[in-house]
């Protein structure tokens, strides 16, 4: 398989690349893998250092909104896995234009490039946030898209474009929608690495509102395994939810992190709630389980311990990113 991976220097994308090049996916073998990444603040080529010497690997710094570059790279690929996106909700609340430009227009450019190339499959990696908020039960893939933040609205727009190119141009596309990811190499503005690194630094952790917002937690390795299944076994034009099966309120998550790191509630700093903060996310994963054989493999407590240990052992990595991250106004 000749893969083009967009956003492959980011958190989830780099994990997928490392797993692909170390034969962690039994569904396929890699003949060639090209990463396209603009290396914005959340992307880091260092994330790919473990596989950088692999002769099958090539890195290209570039913008997914560059049509000619996208066409050129797709000439040497037969499959595309599209991770590249602006993804931080708080940043989208402060300003949505970059999210629309990258997530919507960037996806449209890639789809146009794929349409004019010999791409056999285009996998679009999306999020459960496009569904909005659900008080009880879990979303199936055909649930209406009701996004509540500029970020999730931009991802919903990109999802609909992918669907449209499948229906209009018969492009072989698959969409995956994941729940909250955690694991190694996650940029420290996200809740779990932010809390972990703050505690390491002796700082308090900011807990939004009453802390009762519920999220399903998915280890990044499980997410990547689900994407590999969608890439190789998914049906063209379909959507697959990928979840972790561990629903926690933010308060419960916070207490689990505090306990695992041996500190108490004095580290909690309540802060004003986020605007438009969705109460609960929950994806139904019965479709990907029945059709593709997916189920999460990483136990949450074990995954949390592994994640904490990774950040403890990689202070230089996350301190660099905390210092270089642009401030949220």
User: Is position 76 annotated as part of the catalytic site?
Assistant: no
**What is the sign of the dihedral through the CA atoms of 63, 221, 26 and 56?**
positive
Check if 128 is active-site: yes
pLDDT of residue 325: 66
Residue 10 belongs to domain spanning? 2-182+218-242
| Catalytic-role residue among 44, 131, 141, 151 | 151
Residue 329 pLDDT: 47
Residues 6 or more apart whose Cβ sits within 8 Å of residue 29: 1, 23
Is there a single domain that holds both residue 127 and residue 31? yes
Task: Identify whether residues 312 and 166 lie together within a single domain.
Answer: no
pLDDT for res 259: 97
Q: For 116-135, how does the pLDDT look when each residue is reduced to its tens digit (9 = 90+)?
A: 998 999 999 999 999 999 99
pLDDT in tens, 268-308: 999 987 777 888 999 999 999 999 999 999 999 999 999 99
Q: Is 129 a catalytic residue?
A: yes
Distance CA 234, CA 192 (A): 30
Which tens digits make up the pLDDT trace of 226-263? 999 999 999 999 999 999 999 999 999 999 999 999 99
Looking at the chain, the whole-number percentage of residues with pLDDT higher than 70 is 98
Q: Based on C-alpha coordinates, what's the Rg of the chain?
A: 19
Q: Give how many domains the chain has, as a whole number.
A: 2
- pLDDT higher than threshold 80 for residue 158: yes
CB 292 within 8 A of CB 232: no
Task: Say yes or no: 34 and 65 in one domain.
Answer: yes
User: Is residue 256 situated within a structural domain?
Assistant: yes
Judgement on whether residues 251 and 139 belong to the same structural domain of the protein: no
Give me the catalytic one of 129, 216, 221, 238.
129
175 and 118 co-located in one domain: yes
Nearest to 165 by CA among 104, 237, 106, 63: 237
pTM: 0.95
Residues 6 and 146 both lie in one domain: yes
Q: Are residues 228 and 317 in the same domain?
A: no
Residue 289 lies in a domain: no
What is the maximal distance between C-alpha atoms in the chain?
57
Q: Which of 128, 159, 216, 221 is catalytic?
A: 128
Q: What tokens appear for 267 in the block? A: 């580290």
Q: What is the CATH number of the domain that holds 30?
A: 3.40.50.720
CATH of the domain at 203: 3.90.25.10
Tens-place pLDDT, residues 54-102: 999 999 999 999 999 999 999 999 999 999 998 767 777 788 888 999 9
């Amino acid at each position: 398989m000749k893969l083009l991976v967009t956003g492959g220097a980011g958190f989830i994308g780099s994990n997928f690349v490392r797993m692909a090049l170390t034969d962690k996916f039994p569904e396929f073998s890699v003949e060639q893998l090209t990463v396209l990444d603009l290396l914005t603040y959340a992307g880091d080529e260092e994330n790919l250092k473990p596989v950088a010497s692999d002769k099958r690997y090539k890195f290209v710094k570039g913008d997914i909104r560059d049509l000619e570059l996208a066409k050129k790279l797709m000439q040497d690929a037969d499959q595309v896995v599209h991770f590249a996106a602006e993804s931080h909700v708080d940043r989208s609340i402060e300003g949505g234009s970059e999210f629309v430009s990258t997530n919507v227009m960037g996806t449209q450019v890639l789809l146009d490039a794929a349409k004019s190339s010999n791409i056999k499959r285009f996998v679009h990696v999306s999020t459960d946030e496009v569904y909005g908020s659900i008080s009880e039960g879990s979303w199936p893939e055909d649930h209406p898209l009701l996004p509540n933040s500029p970020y999730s609205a931009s991802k919903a727009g990109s999802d609909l474009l992918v669907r449209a190119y499948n229906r209009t141009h018969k492009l072989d596309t698959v969409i995956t929608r994941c729940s909250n990811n955690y694991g190694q190499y996650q940029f420290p503005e996200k809740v779990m690495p932010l809390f972990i690194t703050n505690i390491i630094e002796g700082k308090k952790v900011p807990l939004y509102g009453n802390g009762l917002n519920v999220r399903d937690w998915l280890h990044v390795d499980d997410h990547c395994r689900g994407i590999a299944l969608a890439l190789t076994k998914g049906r063209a034009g379909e959507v697959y939810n990928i979840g972790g099966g561990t629903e926690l309120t933010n308060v419960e998550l916070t207490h689990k992190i505090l306990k695992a790191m041996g500190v108490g509630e004095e580290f909690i700093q309540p802060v004003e709630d986020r605007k438009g903060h969705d109460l609960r996310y929950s994806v139904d994963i019965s479709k990907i389980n029945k059709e593709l054989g997916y189920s999460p493999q990483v136990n949450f407590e074990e995954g949390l311990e592994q994640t904490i240990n990774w950040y403890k052992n990689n202070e230089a990595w996350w301190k660099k990113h905390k210092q270089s991250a642009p401030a949220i106004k």
